Chains A and B, each alone.
Chain A
Amino acid sequence: DIQLTQSPSSLSASVGDRVTLTCRASQNIATYLNWYQQKPGKAPNLLIHAASRLRSGVPSRFSGSGSGTDFTLTISSLQPEDFASYYCQQSYDSPTFGPGTEVDIK
């Protein structure tokens, strides 16, 4: 199966910061990569699919890029409601998720 790694595993940031999260796949997955946000006690929420397509209703401060094995999720200006965990998921083959990145308040 395709393994996903995420870095960093956690980070502390301030409101207004630009934040970049990374997801790496163990093999080429083209752009079959999704990003989710999850808050405590809630189900994950899709932010970006196909590596860079913003889901309808998701703020434009979120953006995704990458193809092949290396992908990034960028939050251009961190807002209070963005403190959460973020997961990547590949949809190239039998789906797998990354271990997540926790973004907390500095």
Chain B
Amino acid sequence: QLQLQESGPGLVKPSETLSLTCSVSGDSIRSSPFYWGWVRQSPGKGLEWIGNVFWSGTTFYNPSLEGRVSISVDTSKNQFSLRMTSVAAADTAVYYCVRHEGQWMVEVDYWGQGVLVTVSS
């Protein structure tokens, strides 16, 4: 059974960088045809796709966040990571890592449990 587990700081200061890691167990992150992505959910903006990465390193990002976001993969550790710069209060949300088929989330079959990240000084 595949499991995804998010980890990272729960509190980030405004203007600083948010960094989260998703650890994958139960399958290889090299499994095709799967992409590995991040989705966040906040009371104000609902569910929002952030971006995804293929095991080869190919990435796709939400145009509204592009420039602040980068997603990387470490196949040796079976992990992938999210980095978001210049965070503000509007970035406060529950962040989920996901596995899906197709670059545009054609079928999301696994979600992590989510991690709450609060942006506050």
Partner of B47, one of A46, A89, A92, A94: A89
Give per-residue flags for A57-73: 1 if the beta carbon is below 8 A from chain B beta carbons, else 0. Answer: 00000000000000000
Chain A residue at minimal CB-CB distance from B106: A91
The segment from A10-18, A19-27, A76-84, A95-103 that touches chain B is: A95-103
- Which residues on the A side are within 8 Å of B96 (C-beta)? 43
Residue-wise, chain B 71-107 has the 8 Å CB interface mask toward A (1 for contact) of 0000000000000000000000000100000101111
**Nearest Cβ on chain B to A92's Cβ, whole angstroms:** 7
What is the predominant secondary structure among interface residues of chain A facing chain B?
loop
Given A43-B114, A87-B47: A93 touches B107 (CB 8 Å cut-off): no
Contacts A46-B107, A46-B108 given: A1-B46 contact, CB under 8 Å?
no
Q: Are B104 and A32 in contact (CB under 8 A)?
A: yes
11 additional contacts (CB under 8 A) given A34-B107, A98-B46 = A1-B63, A32-B106, A43-B96, A45-B111, A89-B105, A92-B104, A95-B49, A95-B104, A96-B49, A97-B49, A100-B46
